[in-house]
Amino acid sequence: MGKHSIGIGGHLTSADIQLVDSVFRELTEELVFTVNDQKVEVNDRLLKLKPVGLLQDESDAVGRDHLGFVWEVRIKQPSLEVTIHKNKGENLAGQFLTLPEYTQLVKQGKITPERWTELVVRDYLSSSMN
């Protein structure tokens, strides 16, 4: 079984004028957004993006070569539905979980988080929930 991630990631491209452009592009590549069963393009009217930190972890080769921008994404539009692209890239499966549900699956050994996920859960999510 592979490792699991709580996030959506990718690389900056030359088409990304601002950092937030990269966030919206990556969200669109990994997720499907609909309102009333109609696919919509995500924007700041539908989602609230909040930068919460930088992530650098030099414990493995990927971490030594990458710097992560950590964003909190919240839905602003109550009728917005979000689904995960399945079988696209590395997303072989996906689901939305609450933090307690996710933590329980990790404790039970049912999922194994990748390193950046461990750090975000430990250093940001767990402390922001208290």
pLDDT in tens, the chain (130 residues): 578 888 888 889 999 999 999 999 999 988 999 999 999 999 999 999 999 999 999 998 878 898 999 999 999 999 999 988 765 555 556 778 888 999 999 999 999 998 999 999 998 887 776 5
Beta strands in 3-90 (DSSP E): 31-35, 38-39, 47-55, 68-75, 80-84
Question: What residue ranges do the domains of the chain occupy?
Answer: 19-128
d(CA 69, CA 65): 14
Indicate yes or no: pTM above 0.75: yes
